[in-house]
Amino acid sequence: MKEIGESILRCLQEVSAERQARAVDPVLGQRVAAIKQYQHERFSRTYADLLAHKRYGGAAKFFLEDLYGPSDFSERDVQFARVVPALLRLFPKELIATVAELAALHALSERLDSAMARALPADPPIDDHRYALAWRAVGGVSDRERQITLMVSIGTALDRYTRNMLLRHSLRLMRGPAQAAGLAALQRFLETGFDTFRAMGGAREFLTTISIRERGLCALLFDGGESRAATAELPP
């Protein structure tokens, strides 16, 4: 458990370093914000069918807003960094492993966003062509693959947790202690993820669609294509 705590802290230190770099370089900060907004809009286009789907809409929105969006996660990050010992003490081991993956995804995404912002061939606004050029300039095939793997792994874990009602009950009982320990934002994230995936009634088809489309988009961009949506058949 100590190793997991140290890993979470390292990831949060990486995120903090990226934020500090943007704070002292307003142009970089503006470009990163533009990159994040573009990615948010791209996800909305790529998954418009899932977002509008009766069964998968909630999970797609959770991915868009909590895993892939331009949201400011500063509150959650500060809570992580300040109370990692409390996190390790209060939360079940299964959930801590997912939190570690969340921190790793967050750090990797922030680093890639900064790298792409530095590689932008022109000032915002960003279009498909400029985004594709920056993507290829940064490269990092293994980093992109890990980004997708982490995102799908977090979703898979949340889906698995929905079959453990004892874990869900434990999570509800943790609301008070989590609030007292300064972990309210993390608690909200986990409860929202749990409830969203439970309402979906099985995430295999949903996560397969995410994986196929994201990997298809990566292949397209690395092959020199524009960042238009890769497609996969919508699950039933």
**Residue 57 pLDDT > 90, yes or no?**
yes
Least confident range of 59-73, 131-145, 210-224 = 59-73
At 116, the pLDDT band (50, 70, 90 cuts) reads very high
Lowest mean pLDDT, pick from 18-22, 29-33, 119-123, 188-192: 119-123
- What is the model's pTM? 0.87
Percentage, residues of the chain above pLDDT 90: 37
- How many Cα atoms are found within 13 Å in the side-chain-facing hemisphere of 194? 21
How does pLDDT run across 164-222, given as a tens digit for each residue?
888 888 888 888 877 777 777 778 888 888 899 999 999 999 999 999 999 999 988 88
pLDDT of residue 44: 92
d(CA 189, CA 17): 23
**Neighbour-count burial of 232, counting CB atoms closer than 10 A to its CB (0-12 exposed, 13-18 middle, 19+ buried):** middle
Mean pLDDT, residues 136-147 taken together: 90
Residue 175 confidence (pLDDT): 84
What integer best gives the mean pLDDT of the chain? 84
Integer Cα distance of 194 and 188 in angstroms = 10
Yes or no: say if 120 and 179 are a contact pair by the CB < 8 Å rule.
no
How distant is the alpha carbon of residue 25 from its chain centre?
Answer: 24
Lowest average pLDDT, out of 73-77, 144-148, 185-189, goes to 73-77
